[in-house]
Chain A
Amino acid sequence: MAVTTDTASDERTTATDEAQVPRKQRTSGANVWFGVIAWIVGIAFFFPVFWMVLTSFKTEADAYTTTPKIIFEPTLEQYEGVFAAGIGPYLANSVAATVISTILVLLLGVPAAFALSLRPVQKTTDVLFFFISTKMLPVVAAIVPIYVVVNQIGMLDNIWTLIILYTGMNLPIAVWMMRSFFLEVPGELLEQASIDGAPLWRTLREIVLPIISPGIFATALICVIFAWNEFFFAVNLTAANAGTVPVFLVGFITSEGLYWAQLSAAATLAALPVVLAGWVAQNKLVQGLSFGAVK
């Protein structure tokens, strides 16, 4: 694998050396139509999101009309309202749970991925199998004892409970994903380093880490997305103290129909961080969600 990658990049460099500009593919007539269809479908899929953001800048009166309004006077009053309703602490909880759990995942996961790839332990396959199988067990079957135990040790409605659970939830994915990045490091490089006399930690720090750091970054972003969006543990194990943004949104299902604009503002605030993270990580999303099976 490493061989082909290297040769390919070789050819690319040679091509640039000879100043060959890649020929621009001609856009044929059929492709124009496919492009138009793709744009229409793309906009259709995106439209609800667009509408949500648009509605968040409306007054409730503008939001609540039989004929949807596109032209209106934008206002920030809904965002003010959402913060007045107390989304602040929930946002802070979400940030804490997401950031701390992601850091923990990386601290535990990077060494583990290393031990399952470059200097593999015996029974590597079994360990990998174990990690992945934990993702296949439905969390719903574990929630009852988790609730009971957390309740008994007095950790209900405590942000650390979520941090630990989110770490456990994301760790298997992160290990698999980062392992696939470690495996992309050509073996020759490590052999060269051992001949050069570099000690292991130095090889890792100076040679391996620079190569896999984009992969680690993508892994972190995917962990951020999952942790931020998590709802099941949050709604069952937290309340006013440690509640995250999705828990805050639950408040809106009881006041149905009355606060569409404010609801949209809250939903926009909830969705924004992960939408941005996801846009940045979009090339690695599939790799993360398929446990590294698809590059």
Chain B
Amino acid sequence: MAEVVFDQASRIYTPGAKPAVDKLSLTVADGDLVVLVGPSGSGKSTALRMLAGLEPIDAGSVRINGRDVVDVQPKDRDIAMVFQNYALYPSKTVAENMAFPLKMRGVEKEERAKRVREAADMLGLTEYLDRKPKALSGGQRQRVAMGRAIVREPQVFLMDEPLSNLDAKMRVQTRAQIAEMQNRLAVSTVYVTHDQVEAMTMGDKVAVLADGKLQQYATPPELYDRPANAFVAGFIGSPAMNLLELPRSSSGVTLGGIEIPLTREVTNAVGSRDKLTIGIRPEDWVLESTDADAGSVVKAVVDVVEELGSESYLYAHLAEDTATKIVVRGPGRVKVRFGDPIAVRPTAEALHVFDVESGERLD
């Protein structure tokens, strides 16, 4: 049982250059599963490896259960890690792989066998215990790696893109399995992924990183509903939020010839800026009749229609400004086709307002 704290932790590969992880501060509450998510090069794996002790912490500190681990060897941090490529020892059988960390810690032979058996049961690996990793499928290898972490009964699980080598179906299955197991064992877990769906579905809390900096640390619904900046807004959600740079009008902003009003608080927060980045999620458009009054709707022309069965996404460009593209969620059976005109109206309450320069949320 442990709380993990990153306190202004930094990793600087070359002095003077941009840090790989820049003053990261966040707390993983005991028993939580926290996902570090971000595009490649965002520093999420580096942050995890700092926690594991595989990368030095150049500034700040990392604490596990209140103990500063900056100078502590990986083996003494009481953690277990699942690697992207599973890192199974090829010369050892499944059982030997899972028992190895226990053996290194001087756990008695019977106790080792018992714990390996239990973990194998839980993961459905019992019949494979005598096989070598080479003779396993990708999903089985992944489970062995999980098993090796579980038998340790560590303070913290670290997982570095553990699902990225599985096919789509296995990934969804294993995702649920990991979440379920983590709930059951209630071991604090730090999980790295580049896949925002994984982050949203698995994390108790999600930390979005970009360029080595923490962008936002929040629960998945918060992240979705109130992204802290334009980067998070664009990163979380699929298809991505429409981010449009729009000029101010007297009481709001102008889009495609219509005025979108802003609430009083927003207007106050915006101050004297004459341009704003407005975020509108695809589902926050209302499809209107194309006959509607020109002043009340935005006219657009459809480029692509993606029909997903239960819903559809219309990719379109504005009729009067062809360079501006928007994505609109529509019903499952939509009639429009390529080249058709549509008319849409954003839901005023669902707007996200960001500063054009800094990308910071204003409301």
Contacts and interface: CB of A to CB of B under 8 A. Distances in A.
A and B held together in a complex: yes
Given A10-B138, A13-B137, A188 B91 contact: no
B81 A186 contact: no
Interface residues of A, number: 26
A192 B141 CA distance: 15
Contacts of B101: 195-197
B137 A196 contact: no
Interface stretch (A136-144, A159-167, A204-212, A238-246): A204-212
B100 A198 contact: yes
B52 interface: yes
A202 B103 CA distance: 12
Interface string A1-35: 01100110111011001000000000000000000
Contact of A192 (B53, B76, B87): B87
Contacts, number: 78
B54 A194 contact: yes
A287 to B, nearest CB: 20
Contacts of B52: 191, 195
A198 B137 contact: no
B141 A197 contact: no
A210 B54 contact: no
A107 interface: no
B165 interface: yes
Interface string B104-125: 1100000000000000000000
A76 interface: no
Interface string A95-106: 000000000000
B134 A13 contact: yes
Which 8 pairs show the lowest CB-CB distances between chains A and B?
Answer: A210-B91, A197-B75, A188-B87, A196-B101, A192-B87, A197-B104, A6-B85, A188-B83
Contact of B136 (A11, A13, A186): A13
Given A3-B85, A6-B165, A206-B92, 15 more contacts: A3-B84, A10-B138, A11-B138, A14-B137, A188-B86, A188-B87, A189-B87, A194-B75, A195-B53, A195-B74, A195-B81, A197-B75, A198-B75, A207-B89, A211-B90
B135 interface: yes
B80 interface: yes
A196 B92 CA distance: 14
B104 A198 contact: yes
A17 B101 CA distance: 29
Contacts of B83: 188, 191-192
B343 interface: no
